[in-house]
């Protein structure tokens, strides 16, 4: 499946901004089931400095600096991506989760040394006792790792309410666990916290999800949004993704932009600016199929 993705971020300031520095994760990754055919980043006003590099996690990161006064900032990323359906293993035939936990606990394992960072706490995902206890109900003794993870995903989908007005990007996991409400970012963080609490490797995935309008209705432009899910490591197979917001294993409709320990590592856009006073932020995302 091929997609054309447009992600536009606009800041309108009450007063002129004299200087801003920004970092963005808006260009899709290359991967075994995804090819980024092209990706362009447009910044208005034109930045004095504009660089791209690959970070520790293999993400494409753009840094830019605007060094002249401006009252608005608009950043638009336009990409074309081809997504292939992943090979989903038989969940019941994957290794027992305790075996994987023990492998990850071996700090001298030659193939897993670089993956062990995903077993540790991170800035937005501390080791939370409530999240660990919640996950433990799915990870009964001897249960296959992916079967247990699928059960955890389904329980988050069933027992947590999707509420876009309850949390912000700064809401702690403990509060989400207490109220059982949040959005895709929160649900991914909860799953990761529980998995890491059990000694497993889990990472945060940021990207997009194609949304289809009801039959007979036209798709509203700008109505799509960024999405988030998580992945768990099976040493013999690699990373396997799970989407707890929709209770499914991601396929051709999920487009990956960036991977990291948590949302902090993959923020679509962050930075600092001088001046400006109050500001208004608008974000518009379109994910459209490219036929043929």
* Contact call for residues 287 and 5 (beta carbons, < 8 A): yes
Q: Would you say 147 and 94 are in contact if contact means Cβ atoms under 8 Å apart?
A: yes
57 vs 224 pLDDT, higher one = 57
Residue 85 CA to residue 5 CA, distance in Å, equals 18
- Say if residue 127's pLDDT is above 80: yes
Residue 82, classed as helix, strand or coil, is: strand
- Give 45-114 as a DSSP string: SPPSEEEEEE-TTS-EEEEEEE-S-EEEEEEEEEEEEEEPPP----GGGSPBHHHHHHHHT-TT-TTTGG
Note the pLDDT tens digit of each residue in 237-283: 999 999 999 999 999 999 999 999 999 999 999 999 999 888 999 99
Question: Position of tokens 């950043």?
Answer: 75
| Residues of the chain above pLDDT 90, percent | 87
Tell me the pLDDT tens digit for each residue of 150-191.
999 999 999 999 999 999 989 999 999 999 999 999 999 999
CB neighbour list of residue 291: distance below 8 Å, 6 or more residues apart: none
Tokens (6 digits) for 98: 């305790």
Cβ contact 251:264 at 8 Å: no
Instruction: Evaluate if residue 84 carries a pLDDT over 70.
Output: yes
Rounded mean pLDDT, 79-86? 95
| Average pLDDT over every residue of 284-288 | 93
Alpha helices in 160-262 (DSSP H): 173-179, 184-197
Torsion over CA: 116, 33, 206, 41 (sign): positive
The β-bridge relationship of strands 181-182 and 161-162 is parallel
pLDDT digits (tens, 9 = 90+) for 199-217: 999 999 999 999 877 777 7
Length of the chain: 292
Task: Tell me how far apart the alpha carbons of residues 21 and 65 are, in angstroms, rounded to a whole number.
Answer: 4
Q: Label the pairing between strands 254-260 and 181-182.
A: unpaired
Helix (H) or strand (E) segment spanning residue 203: strand 202-209
Residue 229, H or E segment: strand 226-234
Euclidean distance between CA atoms 247 and 197, whole angstroms: 21
Q: Whole-angstrom Cα distance, residue 239 to residue 64?
A: 32
Pairing of strands 161-162, 70-83: unpaired
pLDDT given for residue 221 in this prediction: 64
- φ, ψ of residue 50 to 5 degrees: the values are -150, 110
- Report residue 185 as tokens: 């970012």
Q: Is 127 exposed, middle or buried (0-12, 13-18, 19+ CB in 10 A)?
A: middle
pLDDT at 113: 82
């Amino acid at each position: 499946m091929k997609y054309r993705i447009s992600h536009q971020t606009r800041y309108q300031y009450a007063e002129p901004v004299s200087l801003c520095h920004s970092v963005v994760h808006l260009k899709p990754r290359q991967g075994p089931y995804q090819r980024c055919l092209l990706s362009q980043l447009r910044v208005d006003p034109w930045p004095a400095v504009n660089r791209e590099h690959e970070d520790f996690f293999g993400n494409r990161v753009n840094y830019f600096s605007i060094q002249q006064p401006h009252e608005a900032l608009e950043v638009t990323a336009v990409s074309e991506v081809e997504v292939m359906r992943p090979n989903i293993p038989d969940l019941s035939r994957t290794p027992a989760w305790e075996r994987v936990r023990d492998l990850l606990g071996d700090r001298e394992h030659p193939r897993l040394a670089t993956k062990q960072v995903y077993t540790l706490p991170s800035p937005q995902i501390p080791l939370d006792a409530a999240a660990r206890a919640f996950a433990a109900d799915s990870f009964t003794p001897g249960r296959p790792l992916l079967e247990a993870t699928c059960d955890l995903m389904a329980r988050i989908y069933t027992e947590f309410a999707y509420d876009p007005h309850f949390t912000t990007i700064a809401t702690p996991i403990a509060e989400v666990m207490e109220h059982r409400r949040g959005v895709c970012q929160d649900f991914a963080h909860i799953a990761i916290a529980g998995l890491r609490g059990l000694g497993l490797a889990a990472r945060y995935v940021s990207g997009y999800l194609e949304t289809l309008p009801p039959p007979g209705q036209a798709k509203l432009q700008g109505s799509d949004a960024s999405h988030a899910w998580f992945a768990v490591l099976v040493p013999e197979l690699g990373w396997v993704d799970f989407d707890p917001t929709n209770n499914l294993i991601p396929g051709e409709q999920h487009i990956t932009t960036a991977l990291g320990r948590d949302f902090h590592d993959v923020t679509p856009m962050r930075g600092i600016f001088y001046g400006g006073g109050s500001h208004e932020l608008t974000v518009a995302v379109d994910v459209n199929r490219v036929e043929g």
